Amino acid sequence: MRADRANLRACLVLLVVLPQATLAAFVPMVPHVAADLATSPAAIDRSLIVYMAGYAVSMAVAGGLAARTGPRTVQLAALAVHMVASVVVALAPDAATLTAARAVQALGGGAGTVLARIYVQEALPEHQRLPALTQLSTAIALTPALTPPVVGLLVDHLPWRPVLLTLGALSASTFVLARRVLPRSTAEAAEAAGPGLREVLARPAYWWFTGVICLAWCVYFTFTTYSSHTLQVELGTSATVFSLLYALVIVGYIAGSRIARRTSGRFGLPRILLASGTLALIATAAMAVGAHVLPHEPLALVVPMAVAMVGVGAAFPVCQAGMLRSAGANARSASGLFFFLQMTSGALYTGLLSWWEPTRPGALSIAVLAPAAALAVLVTVLRPATAGEPAQDRAGRRPEPPGDPSPAGPRRASR
């Protein structure tokens, strides 16, 4: 049983890494692809936007489809779509074909972001869920940090098409593993899942956890979007130095995730989010001060942001665990909406910021401070009374307490 769960968790990590790697690996290839297809880098950049749109749509529909047919069927089909689309991307003769294939690639790859969390809810006992979610969040954070430097070195010595074909190979390997280890859903789980989405949406706790992760994501995504230009163009750091500075930010994120995993049983989810939001606010306020006092010092931005990411890194798995708990047996439908709103919030916020172009250090610090301040207000003032309580399922039962999984709970779904 322990080996089966270890293999399952390894598979779930691959499911969340795949869409992130597919996105991040393409970034350093843009000039090479544009030159080979005789088009402009801007035309290839549009494929990144299309990919993000497909990614969001995939997360929005994956949970609903899983509620009807079961997550295993949806996940295997999605991996097959991603695998075929990856081959088409690598062999694309022109920019239009490549862009269309990237959209299909995102539709296939993005499903794992939602479905992996559903398997955490249905196939693992409650005391293993937060550690598993922390593992997934860490993998998601590390993938976009580690993939571009590795791919950048490869495309300097190899054609871009064989490098992209490795994504198809990764998808095929994940498909083989998923087909072997993903459990089939029981009839009880399938009946309990889909119809209760309206009940979940009426629960304040679900929306509170959703709001917290959206604001935390805006803090993270805003810095990620604009820090490259700010640090490399405005402050003159080299690509190597920028990679090291960004790695420090990711270390803060990983530290926060690990702290959340170790302290959740002692303090509970709402208290961890209270500490996370407070820390993010203090750190980003310090970053705003540092950006104005030392406007030419990269560390004045990076060190406070690394501290803020401790709070953000703790918030991500805690919000996911709280959402799954508040959704109860209806996690399949609710998860798709949850992650769709998370991704959409970051896209909308950075889209609005693009009119302002917060690339100077002071402007970037204010752009990051704003969602951090809203996050602090949400976790301190607007927490619903039910945020710390497991939700009842449709039969009036509550999930089992940590460490004491009942025969009717996730163990049955994992067989």
Of 77 and 395, the one with more pLDDT? 77
Which token pair is 252?
Answer: 């803060």
Q: In this structure, are residues 302 and 245 in contact, taking their beta carbons and an 8 Å threshold? A: yes
pLDDT computed for residue 218 by the predictor: 93
Rounded Cα–Cα distance for residues 368 and 308 (Å): 10
Lowest-confidence range among 142-156, 216-230, 331-345?
Answer: 142-156
pTM of the model: 0.75
Token pair 């889209």 in the structure block, residue: 351
Write out pLDDT tens, residues 64-86. Answer: 788 788 899 999 999 999 999 99
pLDDT computed for residue 414 by the predictor: 36
The mean per-residue pLDDT over the stretch 22-31 comes to 80
Rounded Cα–Cα distance for residues 342 and 215 (Å): 8
- Residue 3: helix, strand or coil by DSSP? helix
On whether the 194-395 domain is CATH 3.40.630.30, my answer is no
The mean per-residue pLDDT over the stretch 242-256 comes to 85
Spacing of C-alpha 207 from chain mean position = 18
Superfamily of domain 1-185: MFS general substrate transporter like domains (1.20.1250.20)
Write out pLDDT tens, residues 284-305. Answer: 999 999 999 999 999 999 999 9
The mean per-residue pLDDT over the stretch 162-182 comes to 92
Rounded Cα–Cα distance for residues 398 and 25 (Å): 42
Q: In this structure, are residues 260 and 130 in contact, taking their beta carbons and an 8 Å threshold? A: yes
Rounded Cα–Cα distance for residues 347 and 52 (Å): 9
Give the residue among 88, 110, 87, 91 at the shortest CA–CA distance from 100.
Answer: 88
Rounded Cα–Cα distance for residues 274 and 269 (Å): 9
* pLDDT at residue 209 greater than cutoff 60: yes
pLDDT computed for residue 156 by the predictor: 74
Residue 44: how many other CB atoms lie within 10 Å: 23
Token pair 């991603």 in the structure block, residue: 82
For residue 195, give the H/E element and its range: none
Arithmetic mean of pLDDT over the chain: 83
pLDDT computed for residue 239 by the predictor: 65
- Residue 298: helix, strand or coil by DSSP? coil
Identity of residue 38: A
Residue 401: how many other CB atoms lie within 10 Å: 11
pLDDT computed for residue 196 by the predictor: 59
Give the residue among 403, 7, 59 at the shortest CA–CA distance from 183.
Answer: 7
Rounded Cα–Cα distance for residues 282 and 318 (Å): 20
Identity of residue 366: I
pLDDT computed for residue 154 by the predictor: 81
pLDDT computed for residue 403 by the predictor: 34
Rounded Cα–Cα distance for residues 310 and 220 (Å): 11
Q: Which phi-psi region, left, alpha or beta, contains residue 389 (left: φ > 0; alpha: ψ -120 to 50)?
A: beta
Rounded Cα–Cα distance for residues 40 and 60 (Å): 32
Which token pair is 302?
Answer: 């990076």
Give the residue among 283, 269, 276 at the shortest CA–CA distance from 365.
Answer: 283
Lowest-confidence range among 53-62, 363-372, 375-384?
Answer: 53-62
Of 268 and 200, the one with more pLDDT? 268
* pLDDT at residue 328 greater than cutoff 50: yes
Torsion angle defined by CA atoms of residues 380, 384, 390 and 395, in that order, rounded to the nearest 10 degrees: -170
Q: Which phi-psi region, left, alpha or beta, contains residue 236 (left: φ > 0; alpha: ψ -120 to 50)?
A: left
Residues of the chain with CATH 1.20.1250.20: 1-185, 194-395
